[in-house]
Structure 1
Amino acid sequence: MKRKERDFAGTLPGTGRCLFQLPITYVVVDLETTGLDPVQDQIIEIGALEVVAGKPGRSFTTLVQPVTVQPGQFISPFISRLTGITNDGLLAAPGAAKALEAFGRFLGDRIVVGYNAGFDMGFLQQGFQKELRRPLPNDWVDVLPMARTVFPLWEHHRLNNLAAYYHVENPQAHRALSDVKTTDACYRKVIKDGAAKFGSLQAFLEAVRKKMAPEEGEQLSLW
């Protein structure tokens, strides 16, 4: 059975944790990977967008060449079809250490926002520890449980479901930077709907906390 990202993210010493906050300064992050297991599989693309006081700023994107025992065969045909990333495209990509070092400089100490963010953070935390010999201490905020809280009757809560509901175009779904921009647009919209549905941002956060059933004493904060 594949390791679940919620069972991995935040488990390495010195790594961040999932927060129940609604930050206005943050970095939206999305990854493409060779599979679902942050220990056995590898990152093939990183996308990120900084948002400062609610305003989008610089973006970051890089392909990442994974380690393989077969020269030139980096990803499966399924992953290539899903993402549009090809083996040829990965030939000139930097290795994980160089890519993660550059991403770490871009990220700094800011909070990460992501869709199903525990998945991405599990891979990043594993990558930082393995490749850079240091933990990734950044905390993160997950948009997925916000969507589940606002739309509890939906059968699926994938990013494309939320984007379709909000009429947010994602021109390159399953490419990291395009998914990042889509996530940010949906994050802004879902917190507005959450505040309207539950009466306030604080009440919405409390509903999200109950949905996720975190450990006792988890701190709630609007910002």
Structure 2
Amino acid sequence: MIVITLTKVSNSLRGDLTKWYQEIQTGVYVGNVTAKIRDELWNRIMRDIGNGQATMVYNINNELGYTFKTTRPDREVVDYDGIPLMMHLVSADKPIKHGFSNAAKFHKAKVMSKRVESKSGEGQQLSIQSKPFVSIDIETTGLDVATDNIIAIGAVKSSGIAVEKFYQLININQKIQAAVTKLTTLTSEQLNSEGISLEDALSGLQKFIGDSPLIGYNVHFDESFLTASFRKTRLSILANHFYDLMPVVKKNNQFLDNYRLKTVLETYKIKNEHPHNALADAQATYELAEQLIKKRVLRF
């Protein structure tokens, strides 16, 4: 008898397992296959697990009559005088140890193949890390680019030596809704007293970003509002190239519960003390971009 439990995995992996096991409850699979098929299926789980988790219990000739394997980062299978035990780890921060012969070989082969694939672009990736880029975020009065307005712009720039920041409130000369204040903490009074004209804010932004590439999370929203605002003020539209981090994250983290910025930042252990603040969100997005560049999955 073999029992496998899965959490946060793709539907395709679940479908593969149902060819051999019966799903008696969501994520719980029971079956009786040969040791060879069992090991091959575990290798397939290891290949497609992503950020999910898997545990397998199966019969073996020992004192208990069974043993188990797991990918959980907060657990480790240890052998105590021939008896398998599940040890609770104090910290789950260390990488998963694939301590099973077939799975370990498969994992090492996968890592080596990725190194070979990325080797040809290694020089390009290194040049990317030294290339300046600007992370950008805006706050608006709503979601409709035709009727709503930008009320705050935040940007963070890497110059290769230091990090520079740009933050500007915009006086739109109208009262903003309570829901917007609740989300952004910005008030009409604050915009009236601290904000500047849209034209001055956009001119300042242009000088700050220069010709650097612009990155953001779901950046198409920011790009559409900025483009409309530049047209409204009759300023030259930005010629900078925009890069959206959301599809990059989706491609490399296929099993997140959702792809809201908050969830993604938590996954990458990035703190954002003031969400829905343009500068704080731009800073967090900048840190996310740095991590993606170091992982060699973000290319300009």
Q: Percent identity over the alignment? A: 30
- Deviation, 1:106, is 1.1
Task: Tell me which amino acid in the other structure corresponds to 2:132.
Answer: T
Aligned match of 1:66 in 145, 163, 172? 172
Match of 1:39, SS state, is coil
Q: Is the 8 A contact 1:34 1:41 kept in 2?
A: yes
Match of 1:84 in 2: 185
Match of 1:185 in 2: 287
Match of 2:140 in 1: 33
The structure, 1 or 2, with the larger RCO (C-alpha pairs under 8 Å, 6+ apart) is: 1
Matches for 1:159-174 after TM superposition, within 5 Å: 159-174=261-276
Q: Which has a greater percent of strand?
A: 2
- Deviation, 1:188, is 1.9
Match of 1:102, SS state, is helix
Match of 1:144 in 2: 246
Deviations 1:51-92 (CA, angstroms, capped at 9, x unpaired): 123x54211101011243xxxx1x111111011111111112
In the aligned structure 2, how far is the partner of 1:127 from the partner of 1:26? 22
Match of 1:124 in 2: 226
- Deviation, 1:176, is 0.6
In the aligned structure 2, how far is the partner of 1:133 from the partner of 1:166? 37
Label 1:175 to 1:119 Cα distance change in 2 as closer, same or farther (>3 A).
same
Task: Tell me which amino acid in the other structure corresponds to 2:215.
Answer: V
Runs of 4+ in 1 over 6 A off after TM superposition: none
Q: Is the 8 A contact 2:134 2:286 kept in 1?
A: no
Match of 2:258 in 1: 156
In the aligned structure 1, how far is the partner of 2:163 from the partner of 2:253? 30
Deviations 1:130-159 (CA, angstroms, capped at 9, x unpaired): 113422211111111111111122231111
Match of 1:43 in 2: 150
| Structure 1 portions without partners, runs of 5+ | 1-20, 196-203, 206-221
Larger radius of gyration: 2
- Deviation, 1:42, is 0.6
Q: Is the 8 A contact 1:146 1:191 kept in 2?
A: no
Task: Tell me which amino acid in the other structure corresponds to 1:38.
Answer: V
Task: Tell me which amino acid in the other structure corresponds to 1:61.
Answer: Y
Task: Tell me which amino acid in the other structure corresponds to 2:147.
Answer: Q
| Structure 2 portions without partners, runs of 5+ | 1-124
Match of 1:98 in 2: 200
Q: Number of residues paired by the alignment?
A: 172
Match of 1:219 in 2: none
Match of 1:91, SS state, is helix
Task: Tell me which amino acid in the other structure corresponds to 1:130.
Answer: K
In the aligned structure 2, how far is the partner of 1:28 from the partner of 1:87? 26
Q: Is the 8 A contact 1:49 1:56 kept in 2?
A: no
